Amino acid sequence: MQEATSTRFDTRAECEAHFRACLAAARTRLDLFDPDFAVFPLGASDVDATLREFLKRGGVLRLAMHTPGHIERHYPRFLRLLRDYSHGAECRATPKTLHQLTDSFCIVDDAHVLRRFHSDHMRGEAAFASPGAVDLPRHRFDAIWEESKAVLQSTKTGL
């Protein structure tokens, strides 16, 4: 069993390193919320490989965002992953009434969490093996998810 740890960060490099650690720890479920996912390295080849392995093992990936434009323009590798694993990955966009939400987080298996306190800044915290630290982001994500609508879906022809 992993020992509980909590680490604060304030740079993009630290945020990305903690995000990759979250991906490596994921076994069954990844839930992410960010206004546009511009900071998350979803287009990186190592992230793609890790996510593909996670989804191949039966993991579930859910992303909630305000707008999908950044992903559509900058992450073609991630769009292919969504197409290839449409049974295990889903993306949703929030309604305009929720666009005032400015935090950002990644919840892993209800045990680990990466949180940026405001999406305009890199300052945040990563907590591993800390289910208590997951509680608030989990409730927020579930409420956001419930209000959001599906985006970034493949068409019936696979396009």
Domains for the chain: give ranges and CATH numbers: 5-97+123-151 (3.30.870.10)
Q: Does residue 1 carry a pLDDT above 90? A: no
Percent of the chain with pLDDT over 90: 89
Mean pLDDT of the chain: 93
Percent of the chain with pLDDT over 70: 95
Judge whether 134 and 29 are in contact, CB under 8 Å. no
Average pLDDT score over residue span 3-15: 92
Q: Does residue 52 carry a pLDDT above 50? A: yes
Average pLDDT score over residue span 75-94: 95
Q: Does residue 51 carry a pLDDT above 80? A: yes
For residue 57, the tally of other CB atoms under 10 A from its CB is: 11
Distance set, CA 16 to CA 4, 58, 93 (Å): 20, 24, 23
Q: pLDDT digits over 132-147, tens only?
A: 999 999 999 999 999 9
Per-residue model confidence (pLDDT) at position 75: 95
Per-residue model confidence (pLDDT) at position 157: 45
Q: Does residue 156 carry a pLDDT above 60? A: no
Nearest of 90, 69, 94, 95 to residue 104 by alpha carbon: 94
- B/e letters for 128-154, b = 16+ CB within 10 Å, e = fewer, are bebeebbeebbebbeebbeebeebbee
